[in-house]
Chain A
Amino acid sequence: MADPKGAPSRGSTGAAIGEKHAANLLFVLPYLLVLLVLLLIPLGLGIWLSFQDYDMLGGWNGGVGLDNFRNLLDDSIFPGAVRNTVVFVLITTPAFVGLGLFLALALNDSLRRSAVLRTVFFGSSVLSVTIVTLIWRLVYLPDRGLAADILGLVGLHGFDPVTSETWALPAIAVVTVWWIIGLPMTLFLAALQQIPAELYEAAALDHASRLTTLRNITLPSIRRTIAVVAVIEIVLQFQLFGQALLITGGGPNNHSRPIVQFIYEAGFRDLQLGFAAAASQVLFALMLLAALGQMWLSRRGEN
């Protein structure tokens, strides 16, 4: 401590906690700097930019009020991109929660087999999006890919999700779930291991079946983790970009183009930074709303 007077005295009842001391700021300064430079300033700039006519070639042409947002509404692609992204989140988030929980429940023991499988299921998470999409483009190859082979076995021939308006987005969702199911699984495993074994023993003595135990002991005990996983996945999956760009390029006919790809193209291909920033604000608002909605739902469930 720089000054012993400023240090909270041992055994005091909080008088020192409220004391102002400039030196204490040093402890949080590194974090504050990072927060400011990498988060708050860009956020503020982005919001400001979304009300400007800012073109990377033409430069700044002054404020335009809500014009960028109006243009987004009238855009031929953006509303579709919002729809695609929302649908993608609606497909993947329940899948991450459901499948992650299922895997965690199935692999929550000390068997060597389970340890190997846990590693296997987490393994794909360490791959980059480039590798993942490379693998899955092979899987989705029409006529020769693994997916076509398997579906051919059950009589579904000619399956080509990448060029299908209906199946392109679900196909990207499958890739995404395969890629990063490891995180929800691990979070659920950690939560399951926090449940005291005595609770299960008490339930066994209380004549609870496996299903009753799952419904009445396990799920309520990991309710918070379910909410956390849902919020994390909502926030993550709204930012869908790499998989869509590399597998379908947003096609066919924009049916798998997500908001982030739209922002990327508006900003870095068409160089309309103000317009792209406005789309970013819409994405931010959507993510915020969805995450808040999920938190409200889970809190209501708790009460």
Chain B
Amino acid sequence: MANLSLRQVSKRFGHVEVLRDLSLEIPAGEFAVFLGPSGCGKSTLLRIVAGLEAPTSGEVHLGAERIDTMSPGDRGVAMVFQHYALYPHMTVRQNMAFGLQNIGTPPEEITRKISEAAAMLEIAHLLDRKPGQLSGGQRQRVAIGRAIVKQPKAFLFDEPLSNLDAALRSRTRIELARLHQRMQTTMIFVTHDQVEAMTMATRIVVMNQGRIEQVGTPMEVYQQPDTRFVAGFVGTPAMNFLPVARVEERAGRAVACLPDGTEIATTVPVGHLPSGDLTLGIRAEHIVPGDGAEARVVVIERLGERTLIYADLRDGSTVVYDEPGDVRLDIGQPVRLAFDGAAVHLFGPDGMTLRG
């Protein structure tokens, strides 16, 4: 168990800058999830930690050691790959033993470690099979088992759930979370799936275009996004963004006036507002039917436990709100929507969240 420290790490591939001067501290024992869209540099960052890519500049420290100059095998990390990367010609047992044999672990110790890991992951009955004879979920477990037997200082997961079907993915999510609780080892998990990030992470590192947008607990990232990007990327359905036509002041707080004339009293102090166009962000659950903006229903998505309703405001902009269970609404039906001013976010022209 060790803390991971990234210090001003940059990575270029030719003229393309993938990571820009990135610094991050991950405390020992934390389950950190790198979350971001494809191409944001999250996998590259993980591969730099693993030693599969060299940073163009910057340092990586694991515990007391600087590891970016070491070979991958010497770093004390174990990685679970997106496509598992199990050795196809070796049995499960041989797959798990390979890394230990290479560092000269005594055979009886290898056997013991494999038995422990196999029992923990419930794959003891698969030890003599080859990866080709296993299902996707079983391969996933073997890949995790191969990482566990090495007893690394940190586990690295590169989108390991993306090849599993939806049911297996949610089950594996829970198992990984339990595994982390049991082992208390530093884990770094890369994903573009915000549900995986929200459900498993101790802290989420939201990345975009080679930069860290925000680091925080899942609820911090969800409730207090630092940027418009984070606000839009985290949460399903995505946050509603509406242009602010003008801002008025009421008791020192900003009142956002939307193009359709709706006024929303926010908690943002008016003194802090920058000049330029502002954007208002509000999540679906903070819009409720009530005395407010006039709108017309355009799409209804029934998800079972709740219903998402997409409605056009008078100026043509669309908002989504949700209601529990089913609703009796028809397409084209007029509704009135109330916006919870205490829960709205205001974003400046640079995409940063404006706070008091």
| A→B interface (CB under 8 Å) | 196, 198-199, 201-209, 212, 216-217, 220-221, 223
Contacts and interface: CB of A to CB of B under 8 A. Distances in A.
Contacts of A223: 89
Given A198-B83, A201-B81, 20 more contacts: A198-B81, A198-B82, A201-B50, A201-B52, A201-B72, A202-B81, A203-B87, A203-B98, A204-B73, A205-B51, A205-B52, A205-B73, A205-B79, A205-B99, A206-B150, A207-B102, A208-B102, A209-B102, A216-B90, A220-B87
A212 B73 CA distance: 13
Interface in B86-115: 86-90, 98-99, 102-103
Contact of A206 (B82, B83, B99): B99
Contact of A207 (B50, B74, B86): B74
A196 B103 contact: no
Interface in B69-83: 71-74, 77-79, 81-83
A273 to B, nearest CB: 50
A204 B102 contact: no
A217 B83 CA distance: 16
B85 interface: yes
Interface in B217-276: none
Contacts of B77: 205
7 contacts: A198-B82, A201-B79, A202-B86, A205-B52, A206-B102, A208-B98, A216-B90
A208 B77 CA distance: 14
B87 A199 contact: yes
Q: Interface majority SS on B: helix, strand, loop or mixed?
A: loop
Contacts of B86: 202
Closest 9 CB pairs of A and B: A207-B73, A206-B99, A198-B85, A220-B89, A202-B85, A207-B102, A204-B72, A205-B72, A198-B81
Contacts of B78: 205
B190 to A, nearest CB: 14
A206 B98 CA distance: 7
A221 B78 CA distance: 23
A212 B100 CA distance: 13
Contacts of B82: 198
A196 B83 CA distance: 10
B104 to A, nearest CB: 10
B50 A205 contact: yes
Contacts of A221: 88-89
A92 to B, nearest CB: 28
A223 B71 CA distance: 28
A207 B77 CA distance: 11
Q: Which of B72, B82, B83, B90 has the most CB of A within 10 A?
A: B72
A208 B104 CA distance: 11
A216 B71 CA distance: 19
A146 B88 CA distance: 47
B102 A212 contact: yes
Nearest to A208: B102
Nearest to B83: A198
Contacts of A204: 51-52, 71-73
Nearest to A195: B88
Q: Which of A199, A205, A208, A216 has the most CB of B within 10 A?
A: A205
Contacts of B52: 201, 204-205
A196 B89 contact: no
Contacts of A220: 87, 89-90
Q: Which of A196, A204, A220, A221 has the most CB of B within 10 A?
A: A204
Contact of B85 (A201, A207, A216): A201
A216 B98 contact: yes
B304 to A, nearest CB: 31
A201 B88 CA distance: 14
A217 B87 contact: yes
Contacts of B90: 216, 220
Nearest to B143: A202
A199 B71 CA distance: 16
Contacts of B88: 221
A207 B83 contact: no
A180 to B, nearest CB: 29
B61 to A, nearest CB: 18
Interface string B27-53: 000000000000000000000001110
B85 A196 contact: yes
Nearest to A202: B85
B73 A206 contact: yes
